[in-house]
Amino acid sequence: MEMEPPSARIMSTATRLFYRNGILATGVGELVDAAGVSKRTLYQLFGSKDDLVTAYLRRVSAHGTSGERHLDRADLSPRERLLGLFTRPPDNVDYRGCPLHNAAVELPTTDHAAREVIVEHKRVVLAKIVALAAEAGVRNPELLGRQLITLYEGATALSTTLHDYEPFDSARSAAEVLIDVDSTAPAGPP
């Protein structure tokens, strides 16, 4: 069996450790030991821990969360895609919330390069929600988009705090009401 290249091992290890333990709590020594590389290799490939954090968040942003991936599903109606955002995370993962939100809380300054990745990701998600709200025929897609992303962010944060997925169910119920109230067309099945 062939071993992954060092850069892939570092990234997969960083993804696992940063999500599980947090960015600040994960030291470079722990990371390189777990990845089976030297500090020199890490710094040659990524430059610094900050650069690795930025690369990690770019990777997370590219994949999106399980709920966010529903927004891109062409096999669902716009309404179903919006409500899919509130799908409970898979039970087979140790859910610790949105990695991008967690990183935003941890990063000590607002001028950290990784923060740009986080802000851009959230803007892209909001734009997708607004576009889907318009496709769904609501009267005020901008307002509904902001309301739905606020519900989604709240559900991810509260489910992490409580270690319970129920906030996704409550947020989905609230989202259904908001979509139906703002809809210009008769409400259909969810």
Can you give the pLDDT at residue 65? 87
Nearest to 96 by CA among 23, 160, 162, 14: 160
Instruction: Render pLDDT for 35-59 as a digit per residue (tens, 0 to 9).
Output: 999 999 999 999 999 999 999 999 9
Beta-ladder partners of 119: none
**Residue-level length of the chain:** 190
- CATH code (residue 109): 1.10.357.10
Judge if 120 and 100 occupy the same domain.
yes
Please give the tally of structural domains in the chain: 2
Q: Are 129 and 145 in contact (CB under 8 A)?
A: yes
Query: Last residue of a domain, which of 30, 63, 96?
Result: 63
The 10s digit of each residue's pLDDT in 106-149 is: 997 788 889 999 999 999 999 999 999 999 999 999 999 999 99
Name the residue with higher pLDDT: 12 or 95: 12
The Cα 147–Cα 173 span in angstroms is 13
**Please, which pLDDT band fits residue 66 given cuts at 50, 70 and 90?**
confident
Sign of CA dihedral 149, 140, 172, 167: positive
Angle at 158 between CA 81 and CA 27, to 5 degrees: 105
**pLDDT the model gives residue 101:** 93
Asked whether residue 86 falls in the same domain as residue 171, the answer is yes
Task: Dump pLDDT digits (tens) for 151-174.
Answer: 999 999 999 999 999 999 999 999
190 part of a folded domain: no
- The pair of three-digit structure tokens given for residue 102, joined into one six-digit string: 């967690």
pLDDT value of residue 183: 84
Of the chain, the percentage scoring pLDDT greater than 70 comes to 95
Q: How many angstroms separate the Cα of 85 from the Cα of each of 9, 44, 64, 126, 129?
A: 30, 38, 11, 11, 9
Of 72, 101, 95, the C-alpha closest to 85 is 72
Q: 54 lies in a domain? A: yes
**Residue 176, pLDDT score:** 97
Q: What pLDDT is attached to residue 95?
A: 86
Burial class of residue 127, CB neighbours in 10 A (0-12, 13-18, 19+) = exposed
**pLDDT of 96 above 60:** yes
Identify the three-state secondary structure at position 138: strand
pLDDT at 92: 67
**Angle (deg, nearest 10), helices 39-46 and 49-63:** 60
* The two structure tokens encoding residue 64: 């999106």
Burial class (CB in 10 A: 0-12, 13-18, 19+), 35: buried
Same domain, 105 and 148: yes
What confidence score (pLDDT) does residue 190 get? Answer: 52
The answer to the question of residue 171 being in a domain is yes
Predicted local confidence at residue 184, as pLDDT: 58
Same domain assignment for residues 116 and 174 = yes
Domain that holds residue 9: 1-63
Average pLDDT of the chain is: 92
Angle at 75 between CA 70 and CA 78, to 5 degrees: 60
3-class SS of residue 183 = strand
Each residue's pLDDT tens digit, 4-28? 899 999 999 999 999 999 999 999 9
